[in-house]
Amino acid sequence: MKLFGKRMAAAMLAALLCVSLLGVSASAATLVAVDLADTVDKAAPSVVEVFTETKRVSPFYQEYVTEGAGSGVVLTADGYIVTNHHVIDGASAVRVRLSGGDTCAATLIGTDSKTDLAVLKIEAADLVPAKLSDSSKARVGDFVIAIGNPLGELGGTVTEGIISARDREISIDGQAMTLLQTSAAVNPGNSGGGLFDLNGELVGVVNSKSAGSDIEGLAFAIPSNTVQEITRELIRYGYVTGRPQLGITVTEVSRPAIGWQTYFDKPGVYIAQVTEENGLKAGDRLIQIDGTNIGGSEDIPAVLDRHSVGDTVKVTVSRGGRETSVSVRLTEKKAA
């Protein structure tokens, strides 16, 4: 009898637990379904489609135009919009399609390759701006939705997931970035779109996806706190203040080029242009900056991030086959 009683008690407990779990799951599913629909209603009007045209020159010196697409998020009711730097980089014309279907020409206000953010402006009124959340309070496991323009032709698409990681240090095009990681589905064209929490508040701006035949559910977004800080600077100044620069543009050479051996005699990072008087010369091959070896162009911002405008750094270059060092005072990088 005691054994039977114990078995009965265990069975009853399991049954109650099963009912309890089913009840919680049903309630949670209902809650998510209701909240998700409400979230989309709140967030979707602030997400726009971005279309670009870029003029290029063929090897035969004939000019042609390429088209691109991405997404954006409305920041203000009078038409300021945030998107990714890489979405509009090099574009000669930009158009924005609002959630209601109207299309407007857009003006580039400012862009920042370091954070992959850019601000556009359209002539409009009474737009629905996104409300930015405090991304420092985002937690791993928080439910989020991504709204954007995947494939450049499916504007307003909504996908769901969670925040998979915070403060994820990754490198995109040689630029180190600290991003939110999400499992929400992201595809080409989603770049610049919004990642929202269940309150319909912007947690981040989508900017990349890890691609590969065996990779899914691995996307990244620029945290909303970074978005707020950078877009404020871009709107006010057209660039991000306080960023140091050497005053040069560079090019990478993977192997000596025939006909250019005088300048590009070895693989490396070469100065293509000097924009300020600093003792460096076009054709110099960078060897070290501030004691750090320069093996690729991505090594330069990594060094500059440790300094401020006005600092002096030692730059070692190869010039005419001989090494020479130059002391360079860092200046403020302004709008291109």
For the annotated catalytic residues, the residue numbers are: 86, 116, 191
CB atoms within 10 A of CB 287: 17
Of 204, 239, 298, 209, the C-alpha closest to 118 is: 239
Residue 33, both tokens: 């379904």
Backbone angles phi, psi at 118, to 5 degrees: -145, 155
Whose structure tokens read 């302004």? Answer: 334
Amino acid symbol at 105: A
Q: Please, where are the H alpha helices in 222-333?
A: 224-237, 299-304
CB atoms within 10 A of CB 20: 10
Alpha carbon distances (Å) from 135 to 52, 175, 201, 204, 252: 29, 21, 10, 7, 36
**In terms of DSSP bridges, do strands 202-209 and 244-245 run parallel, antiparallel, or are they unpaired?**
unpaired
Across the strands, what pairs with 106? 94
Residue 132 is classified by DSSP as B
